[in-house]
Structure 1
Amino acid sequence: MFEKYINFIQNQSFSLSQDCLPPELLIEEDGDLSVYYAPFDYINTEAKIVICGITPGFQQAILALEEASKQLKQGATPAAAKLAAKNTASFGGPMRSNLIRLLDYIGIPQKIGIDSCSELFGSKSDLVHYTSALRYPVFKSLKNYSGTPSMVSKPILLRQLENYLLPELKQLNSSTLIVPLGPKVEEALSLAVKFGVVSQEQVLGGLPHPSGANAERIAYFLGEKTADKLSAKTNPIKIDAAKEKVMAKVACI
């Protein structure tokens, strides 16, 4: 799809100060849901691990569009521009550091032959594929989509899963590990398991979402905070069960 928008992206300037994505990038809409194009097309088919979020947010979309525009203006090939755009926009800020801590804690480095998952964002980036259940940015009432309504029950969202996520996962090795970020993504990956695109053994569900807003759950999962110090909004029993399950699965890989 990148080629469809390449001329527009190359000749447009993008900024985080924008209120919304340009209407020229609108793919489709249904009621208060809208899907826009941003260059998240690159697929690393040789990856040993996949990090899968819900959908790129507005900030990620602008960063990807900015980088793609810059690359194209400098004469990069479309393939190089797509790769640079995706690497620039994927899981930045506090989310990245929390994600690294969680993956290191459950023992991923030993399973893919690195010292720390921080290397996945540097010298070992060839081992990872960053993606989203909904590849192209989805907005609800022009705000970042956060999983409601369910992406498996709404036709405009289900089309993204069927047209992009399932074919994308088919291109990966059957031993590639897949880390869903949150229960909404796990729901989408259950669809992939149902259709035989990936196996349940590949999907390492149960990690707290690495968002900075999820600090307490992350701290408890990592053993940095005890149950008696948790607020009422955090359920330690649920986290313990998810932790035990994912740790056991990683140990068997």
Structure 2
Amino acid sequence: MTTELFDRYASIIRDLKEGDLVDVNSLPISLQIDRDASLTAYYPPFDYVNTRAKIVLVGVTPGFTQARNALIAARNGLKAGESHGAALMAAKQVGAFSGSLRPNLVAMLDYLKLNQWLGVSTCDELFANASHLVQTTSVLRFPVFINDANYNGTPNMTKHPMLQKMLKEYFVQEVKMLGDAIFIPLGPTVSEAMSWLGSQGLIDVSRVFDGIPHPSGANAERIAYFLGKKQRSDLSSKTNPEKIDQAKAELQKKISGL
């Protein structure tokens, strides 16, 4: 773990007032790390990297709520006299894939028997007593907002200069710190970004195990079909079963080789 960025912003974070952080516009301009037209990126303390991790769960980018929670956790740690490293660890542990995301994600990881490979009864333990086995991160490691709302994949991060820069400078640096861990992209947007980085020779795509639907509650039908809980005949026209079947088969083949 490096605390270089955190050292730069620690005094700003220490002085934050929890009640003032209500939306994107309330984030201090002094925490802004980049801007391009309607896109803005801010620094919250997500620098901690668990270099012992065997599995890395990769989202798109932290949203405002995650950023706020991490900033408050780090602020509380600093005010309590904790070291910068300890404050970063506390911030990283706050709210990782919380809400409806987590049970959906756990169900799919267990369905693929990754819990057996990891030596745990269920992947839910990754968020508790087995947290030493996991690193949670995002391809855009720091929160990106468009028109003051959470970034949703548009513009395409592999084609936008500012977002390309974030991929190359921050995410690739983290990948290099994670040894032989396997990476689980959460959804096609993340898979596309990691495939693009692989085409640039910046990451090893053999360590990328893509194919699971995004675990969002809004993706319930695709998740249910992936888990075998919904029959093909019952699917709506919005779900492509062939695409899910192919992705799942390729993913299962890679996992069987672990």
TM range (shorter): over 0.9
Q: Please give the root-mean-square deviation of Cα atoms over the aligned residues, in Å.
A: 1.4
CA apart distance, 1:198? 3.8
> Which one of 45, 56, 67 corresponds to residue 61 of structure 1?
67
Structure 1 segments unaligned to the other structure (5+ residues): none
Q: Are residues 251 and 68 of structure 1, via their aligned partners in 2, closer, same or farther at CA, if it must alter by over 3 Å? A: same
Separation (CA, whole Å) in 2 of partners of 1:91 and 1:153: 27
197-206 vs 92-101, greater mean Cα deviation = 197-206
CA apart distance, 1:16? 8.8
> 1:185 corresponds to which residue?
190
> 2:206 corresponds to which residue?
201
> Which one of 75, 83, 98 corresponds to residue 77 of structure 1?
83
Does residue 1:47 correspond to 2:53, yes or no? yes
55-64 vs 18-27, greater mean Cα deviation = 18-27
Secondary structure of 2:137's partner?
A: strand
Secondary structure of 2:18's partner?
A: coil
Does residue 1:165 correspond to 2:189, yes or no? no
> 1:116 corresponds to which residue?
122
Secondary structure of 1:89's partner?
A: coil
Separation (CA, whole Å) in 2 of partners of 1:214 and 1:251: 26
Give yes or no for contact 2:188–2:213 (8 Å, CA) kept in 1.
no
Q: Deviations over 1:90-141 (max 9, x none)?
A: 2111101111111111111111222210110000101100110011100111
Separation (CA, whole Å) in 2 of partners of 1:7 and 1:155: 30
Structure 2 segments unaligned to the other structure (5+ residues): none
> 2:100 corresponds to which residue?
94
Quick one: which amino acid aligns to residue 92 of structure 1? S
Q: Deviations over 1:192-251 (max 9, x none)?
A: 323445433211101000111111111110011111111111111111111111111111
> 1:4 corresponds to which residue?
8
Give yes or no for contact 1:26–1:37 (8 Å, CA) kept in 2.
yes
Quick one: which amino acid aligns to residue 7 of structure 1? S
Q: What TM-score, normalized to structure 1?
A: 0.95
Separation (CA, whole Å) in 2 of partners of 1:28 and 1:208: 30
CA apart distance, 1:74? 1.2
Separation (CA, whole Å) in 2 of partners of 1:173 and 1:16: 39
Write the mapping of 1:28-47 to structure 2, written as runs, cut at 5 A.
28-47=34-53
Give yes or no for contact 2:21–2:68 (8 Å, CA) kept in 1.
no
Q: Are residues 16 and 187 of structure 1, via their aligned partners in 2, closer, same or farther at CA, if it must alter by over 3 Å? A: farther
Separation (CA, whole Å) in 2 of partners of 1:89 and 1:16: 20
Q: Deviations over 1:9-60 (max 9, x none)?
A: 1111235961222222111110111111111111111110000001000111
Quick one: which amino acid aligns to residue 67 of structure 1? A
> 1:14 corresponds to which residue?
18
Give yes or no for contact 1:61–1:89 (8 Å, CA) kept in 2.
no
Q: State the number of aligned residues.
A: 252
Give yes or no for contact 1:51–1:178 (8 Å, CA) kept in 2.
yes
> 2:257 corresponds to which residue?
252
Separation (CA, whole Å) in 2 of partners of 1:181 and 1:129: 13
Quick one: which amino acid aligns to residue 208 of structure 1? P
> 2:236 corresponds to which residue?
231
Secondary structure of 1:47's partner?
A: coil
161-170 vs 196-205, greater mean Cα deviation = 196-205
Secondary structure of 2:57's partner?
A: strand
Give yes or no for contact 1:193–1:200 (8 Å, CA) kept in 2.
yes
Q: Percent identical across equivalent pairs? A: 46
CA apart distance, 1:155? 0.8
